[in-house]
Structure 1
Amino acid sequence: MTGSIVLDVLIAIALGMALVWLALVIVLVVVRPRGGLLREALRVLPDVLRLVRRLAADKALPRGVRVRLWLLLAYLVVPIDLIPDFIPVLGYADDAIIVVAVLRSVVRRAGLDAVRAHWPGTEDGFAAVVKLTGLPPTR
Protein backbone atom coordinates (compact mmCIF):
# COMPACT_ATOMS: atom_id res chain seq x y z
CA MET A 1 0.00 0.00 0.00
CA THR A 2 2.43 2.70 1.18
CA GLY A 3 5.60 0.75 0.52
CA SER A 4 6.52 0.53 4.20
CA ILE A 5 5.47 -2.59 6.07
CA VAL A 6 5.47 -0.79 9.43
CA LEU A 7 3.26 2.01 8.14
CA ASP A 8 0.92 -0.50 6.48
CA VAL A 9 0.57 -2.42 9.75
CA LEU A 10 -0.11 0.80 11.70
CA ILE A 11 -2.77 1.87 9.20
CA ALA A 12 -4.38 -1.59 9.36
CA ILE A 13 -4.41 -1.48 13.16
CA ALA A 14 -5.94 2.01 13.18
CA LEU A 15 -8.64 0.97 10.70
CA GLY A 16 -9.35 -2.20 12.69
CA MET A 17 -9.71 -0.22 15.92
CA ALA A 18 -12.03 2.26 14.21
CA LEU A 19 -14.22 -0.60 12.96
CA VAL A 20 -14.32 -2.21 16.42
CA TRP A 21 -15.26 1.16 17.97
CA LEU A 22 -18.04 1.62 15.40
CA ALA A 23 -19.33 -1.89 16.09
CA LEU A 24 -19.38 -1.21 19.85
CA VAL A 25 -21.29 2.04 19.35
CA ILE A 26 -23.85 0.18 17.22
CA VAL A 27 -24.19 -2.49 19.92
CA LEU A 28 -24.72 0.21 22.55
CA VAL A 29 -27.45 1.81 20.47
CA VAL A 30 -29.16 -1.55 19.98
CA VAL A 31 -29.04 -2.72 23.64
CA ARG A 32 -29.80 0.62 25.25
CA PRO A 33 -32.73 0.64 27.65
CA ARG A 34 -35.94 1.86 26.06
CA GLY A 35 -38.17 4.69 27.23
CA GLY A 36 -37.92 5.62 30.88
CA LEU A 37 -35.46 2.82 31.62
CA LEU A 38 -32.47 4.96 30.67
CA ARG A 39 -33.68 7.69 33.03
CA GLU A 40 -34.09 5.10 35.79
CA ALA A 41 -30.62 3.73 35.08
CA LEU A 42 -29.10 7.18 35.47
CA ARG A 43 -31.10 7.80 38.66
CA VAL A 44 -29.86 4.66 40.43
CA LEU A 45 -26.32 4.83 39.04
CA PRO A 46 -24.66 5.94 42.34
CA ASP A 47 -26.26 3.03 44.23
CA VAL A 48 -25.36 0.66 41.40
CA LEU A 49 -21.72 1.75 41.54
CA ARG A 50 -21.63 0.98 45.28
CA LEU A 51 -23.32 -2.33 44.53
CA VAL A 52 -20.74 -3.20 41.86
CA ARG A 53 -17.87 -2.45 44.23
CA ARG A 54 -19.42 -4.56 46.99
CA LEU A 55 -20.11 -7.46 44.65
CA ALA A 56 -16.60 -7.29 43.19
CA ALA A 57 -15.15 -7.63 46.70
CA ASP A 58 -17.40 -10.59 47.65
CA LYS A 59 -15.20 -13.70 47.66
CA ALA A 60 -18.31 -15.95 47.72
CA LEU A 61 -19.16 -15.01 44.12
CA PRO A 62 -17.61 -16.88 41.19
CA ARG A 63 -14.27 -15.49 40.00
CA GLY A 64 -15.63 -14.74 36.51
CA VAL A 65 -18.34 -12.53 37.97
CA ARG A 66 -15.84 -10.64 40.13
CA VAL A 67 -13.49 -10.17 37.17
CA ARG A 68 -16.33 -8.73 35.08
CA LEU A 69 -17.19 -6.33 37.88
CA TRP A 70 -13.57 -5.17 38.35
CA LEU A 71 -13.27 -4.63 34.59
CA LEU A 72 -16.47 -2.59 34.70
CA LEU A 73 -15.10 -0.46 37.54
CA ALA A 74 -11.87 0.04 35.61
CA TYR A 75 -13.82 1.14 32.53
CA LEU A 76 -15.80 3.63 34.58
CA VAL A 77 -12.67 5.07 36.19
CA VAL A 78 -10.69 5.49 32.96
CA PRO A 79 -11.45 8.89 31.41
CA ILE A 80 -11.56 7.46 27.87
CA ASP A 81 -15.07 6.32 26.89
CA LEU A 82 -16.51 4.64 23.84
CA ILE A 83 -18.56 7.78 23.32
CA PRO A 84 -17.00 10.99 24.71
CA ASP A 85 -18.93 12.61 27.57
CA PHE A 86 -19.26 15.95 25.77
CA ILE A 87 -21.72 14.40 23.28
CA PRO A 88 -25.20 15.21 24.59
CA VAL A 89 -27.21 12.30 26.06
CA LEU A 90 -25.11 9.47 24.57
CA GLY A 91 -21.95 10.72 26.27
CA TYR A 92 -23.11 9.68 29.72
CA ALA A 93 -25.62 7.11 28.53
CA ASP A 94 -22.88 4.77 27.30
CA ASP A 95 -21.69 4.32 30.88
CA ALA A 96 -25.21 3.55 32.06
CA ILE A 97 -25.78 1.13 29.19
CA ILE A 98 -22.54 -0.74 29.85
CA VAL A 99 -23.32 -0.92 33.59
CA VAL A 100 -26.78 -2.36 32.81
CA ALA A 101 -25.35 -4.93 30.36
CA VAL A 102 -22.71 -6.12 32.84
CA LEU A 103 -25.19 -6.13 35.70
CA ARG A 104 -27.58 -8.26 33.64
CA SER A 105 -24.89 -10.87 33.11
CA VAL A 106 -23.82 -10.74 36.77
CA VAL A 107 -27.37 -11.14 38.07
CA ARG A 108 -27.98 -14.03 35.73
CA ARG A 109 -24.74 -15.74 36.86
CA ALA A 110 -24.58 -14.87 40.57
CA GLY A 111 -28.29 -14.71 41.28
CA LEU A 112 -30.63 -12.00 42.42
CA ASP A 113 -30.16 -12.93 46.09
CA ALA A 114 -26.47 -11.92 45.97
CA VAL A 115 -27.40 -8.58 44.45
CA ARG A 116 -30.15 -8.09 47.03
CA ALA A 117 -27.75 -8.82 49.89
CA HIS A 118 -25.35 -6.10 48.72
CA TRP A 119 -27.89 -3.49 47.54
CA PRO A 120 -27.14 -0.14 49.30
CA GLY A 121 -30.19 1.81 48.12
CA THR A 122 -33.94 1.95 48.52
CA GLU A 123 -36.54 -0.65 47.61
CA ASP A 124 -37.63 1.52 44.65
CA GLY A 125 -34.04 1.62 43.43
CA PHE A 126 -33.75 -2.14 43.74
CA ALA A 127 -37.01 -2.55 41.82
CA ALA A 128 -35.54 -0.33 39.07
CA VAL A 129 -32.39 -2.50 38.96
CA VAL A 130 -34.52 -5.65 38.70
CA LYS A 131 -36.47 -4.02 35.86
CA LEU A 132 -33.26 -2.94 34.10
CA THR A 133 -31.74 -6.40 34.32
CA GLY A 134 -34.84 -7.88 32.71
CA LEU A 135 -35.59 -10.23 35.59
CA PRO A 136 -39.08 -10.92 36.90
CA PRO A 137 -39.90 -8.86 39.99
CA THR A 138 -39.54 -10.57 43.34
CA ARG A 139 -42.09 -10.54 46.15
Structure 2
Amino acid sequence: MRNWLIGLAVAVACLVASWALLVLLARRLPPGVVRDLAAFIPDCVTTVRRLRKDPRVPRRARVAIVIAALWLASPIDLIPEFLPVIGPLDDIVVVALALRYAGRQVPREVLLAAWPGEPWLIERLLGPPRPGVAPTA
Protein backbone atom coordinates (compact mmCIF):
# COMPACT_ATOMS: atom_id res chain seq x y z
CA MET A 1 0.00 0.00 0.00
CA ARG A 2 2.82 2.39 0.86
CA ASN A 3 4.50 1.86 -2.54
CA TRP A 4 1.21 2.65 -4.27
CA LEU A 5 0.90 5.93 -2.37
CA ILE A 6 4.49 6.86 -3.20
CA GLY A 7 3.82 6.13 -6.88
CA LEU A 8 0.68 8.25 -6.79
CA ALA A 9 2.56 11.11 -5.13
CA VAL A 10 5.28 10.94 -7.79
CA ALA A 11 2.67 10.96 -10.58
CA VAL A 12 0.90 13.97 -9.07
CA ALA A 13 4.23 15.76 -8.63
CA CYS A 14 5.08 15.11 -12.30
CA LEU A 15 1.68 16.42 -13.37
CA VAL A 16 2.07 19.58 -11.30
CA ALA A 17 5.63 20.05 -12.60
CA SER A 18 4.48 19.82 -16.24
CA TRP A 19 1.70 22.37 -15.59
CA ALA A 20 4.20 24.65 -13.84
CA LEU A 21 6.49 24.36 -16.85
CA LEU A 22 3.63 25.39 -19.15
CA VAL A 23 2.79 28.38 -16.99
CA LEU A 24 6.45 29.36 -16.83
CA LEU A 25 6.79 29.06 -20.60
CA ALA A 26 3.66 31.09 -21.11
CA ARG A 27 5.09 33.91 -19.01
CA ARG A 28 8.74 33.78 -20.08
CA LEU A 29 8.50 33.27 -23.81
CA PRO A 30 8.64 36.29 -26.10
CA PRO A 31 5.30 37.27 -27.63
CA GLY A 32 4.39 35.03 -30.55
CA VAL A 33 2.79 31.77 -31.56
CA VAL A 34 4.81 29.58 -29.17
CA ARG A 35 3.85 31.72 -26.19
CA ASP A 36 0.20 31.64 -27.20
CA LEU A 37 0.27 27.85 -27.52
CA ALA A 38 1.94 27.50 -24.11
CA ALA A 39 -0.83 29.66 -22.61
CA PHE A 40 -3.55 27.70 -24.43
CA ILE A 41 -4.42 25.22 -21.66
CA PRO A 42 -4.58 27.81 -18.85
CA ASP A 43 -6.77 29.97 -21.12
CA CYS A 44 -8.96 26.95 -21.85
CA VAL A 45 -9.38 26.22 -18.13
CA THR A 46 -10.49 29.80 -17.54
CA THR A 47 -12.88 29.63 -20.51
CA VAL A 48 -14.37 26.33 -19.33
CA ARG A 49 -14.93 27.75 -15.85
CA ARG A 50 -16.63 30.86 -17.25
CA LEU A 51 -18.81 28.98 -19.76
CA ARG A 52 -19.89 26.42 -17.18
CA LYS A 53 -21.52 29.21 -15.15
CA ASP A 54 -23.05 31.14 -18.06
CA PRO A 55 -26.84 30.64 -18.42
CA ARG A 56 -26.68 31.32 -22.19
CA VAL A 57 -24.74 28.07 -22.75
CA PRO A 58 -26.97 25.16 -23.88
CA ARG A 59 -26.90 21.86 -21.96
CA ARG A 60 -25.12 19.93 -24.76
CA ALA A 61 -22.32 22.47 -24.90
CA ARG A 62 -22.07 22.49 -21.11
CA VAL A 63 -21.70 18.67 -21.11
CA ALA A 64 -18.90 18.90 -23.72
CA ILE A 65 -17.19 21.56 -21.64
CA VAL A 66 -17.44 19.49 -18.44
CA ILE A 67 -16.06 16.42 -20.25
CA ALA A 68 -13.11 18.51 -21.46
CA ALA A 69 -12.53 19.77 -17.91
CA LEU A 70 -12.64 16.21 -16.55
CA TRP A 71 -10.18 15.13 -19.24
CA LEU A 72 -7.81 17.91 -18.18
CA ALA A 73 -8.12 16.98 -14.51
CA SER A 74 -7.72 13.24 -15.12
CA PRO A 75 -4.29 11.80 -14.33
CA ILE A 76 -4.81 9.19 -17.07
CA ASP A 77 -3.70 10.47 -20.47
CA LEU A 78 -2.83 9.11 -23.88
CA ILE A 79 0.53 10.89 -23.64
CA PRO A 80 2.06 11.02 -20.13
CA GLU A 81 2.03 14.52 -18.66
CA PHE A 82 5.60 14.30 -17.38
CA LEU A 83 6.96 14.48 -20.93
CA PRO A 84 7.77 18.16 -21.42
CA VAL A 85 6.02 19.98 -24.26
CA ILE A 86 4.34 16.90 -25.83
CA GLY A 87 2.79 15.68 -22.56
CA PRO A 88 -0.14 18.10 -22.63
CA LEU A 89 -0.72 17.52 -26.36
CA ASP A 90 -3.67 15.14 -25.90
CA ASP A 91 -5.21 17.64 -23.47
CA ILE A 92 -4.89 20.40 -26.04
CA VAL A 93 -6.56 18.29 -28.73
CA VAL A 94 -9.49 17.23 -26.52
CA VAL A 95 -10.08 20.76 -25.25
CA ALA A 96 -9.81 22.20 -28.76
CA LEU A 97 -12.42 19.72 -30.04
CA ALA A 98 -14.74 20.42 -27.09
CA LEU A 99 -14.40 24.18 -27.53
CA ARG A 100 -15.01 23.86 -31.26
CA TYR A 101 -18.16 21.85 -30.56
CA ALA A 102 -19.26 24.35 -27.90
CA GLY A 103 -18.51 27.14 -30.37
CA ARG A 104 -21.15 25.70 -32.68
CA GLN A 105 -23.70 25.58 -29.85
CA VAL A 106 -22.92 28.79 -27.96
CA PRO A 107 -23.36 32.28 -29.38
CA ARG A 108 -19.95 33.37 -30.67
CA GLU A 109 -20.00 36.57 -28.60
CA VAL A 110 -20.39 34.55 -25.38
CA LEU A 111 -17.44 32.32 -26.25
CA LEU A 112 -15.26 35.26 -27.24
CA ALA A 113 -16.15 37.09 -24.01
CA ALA A 114 -15.18 34.02 -21.96
CA TRP A 115 -11.78 33.63 -23.67
CA PRO A 116 -9.02 35.39 -21.66
CA GLY A 117 -6.22 34.91 -24.18
CA GLU A 118 -5.40 36.31 -27.57
CA PRO A 119 -8.64 36.61 -29.58
CA TRP A 120 -7.03 35.41 -32.82
CA LEU A 121 -6.30 32.02 -31.23
CA ILE A 122 -9.93 31.26 -30.36
CA GLU A 123 -11.05 32.71 -33.70
CA ARG A 124 -8.66 30.32 -35.44
CA LEU A 125 -9.97 27.42 -33.37
CA LEU A 126 -13.61 28.24 -34.08
CA GLY A 127 -13.11 28.97 -37.76
CA PRO A 128 -14.94 31.66 -39.69
CA PRO A 129 -18.42 32.59 -38.50
CA ARG A 130 -21.16 30.82 -40.38
CA PRO A 131 -23.60 33.43 -41.66
CA GLY A 132 -27.26 32.66 -41.23
CA VAL A 133 -26.68 29.65 -38.93
CA ALA A 134 -28.14 30.06 -35.47
CA PRO A 135 -26.79 27.90 -32.66
CA THR A 136 -29.02 25.01 -31.62
CA ALA A 137 -30.39 24.83 -28.12
- Answer whether TM exceeds 0.5 for this pair: yes
| Structure 1 outlier segments of 4+, above 6 Å | 36-39
2:3 is aligned to: none
1:95 aligns with 2:83: no
1:72 aligns with 2:68: yes
Q: Which amino acid aligns with 1:112?
A: R
| 1:128 pairs with one of 106, 121, 126 | 121
Displacement after TM superposition at 1:40 (Å): 3.7
Displacement after TM superposition at 1:135 (Å): 2.8
1:107 is aligned to: 103
Unpaired stretches in structure 1, ≥5 consecutive residues: 1-35
Which is greater in Rg?
A: 1
1:42 is aligned to: 38
SS at match of 1:103: helix
1:55 is aligned to: 51
Cα offsets for 1:88-134 (capped at 9, x unmatched): 5432111111111111111111131111222334xxx1111111232
Unpaired stretches in structure 2, ≥5 consecutive residues: 1-31, 130-137
More helix by share: 1
Distance in structure 1 (CA, Å) of the matches to 2:85 and 2:106: 31
Q: More displaced, 42-51 or 75-84?
A: 42-51
Distance 1:46 1:89, change over 3 A: closer
Displacement after TM superposition at 1:53 (Å): 0.9
2:61–2:105: 8 Å Cα contact kept in structure 1?
yes
Distance 1:42 1:135, change over 3 A: farther
2:64–2:101: 8 Å Cα contact kept in structure 1?
no
1:41–1:100: 8 Å Cα contact kept in structure 2?
no
Q: What TM-score do you get using the length of structure 1 for normalisation?
A: 0.60
> Percent identity among equivalent residues?
38
Cα offsets for 1:8-50 (capped at 9, x unmatched): xxxxxxxxxxxxxxxxxxxxxxxxxxxx978743333212210
Task: Say what the alpha-carbon RMSD is for the aligned residues.
Answer: 2.3
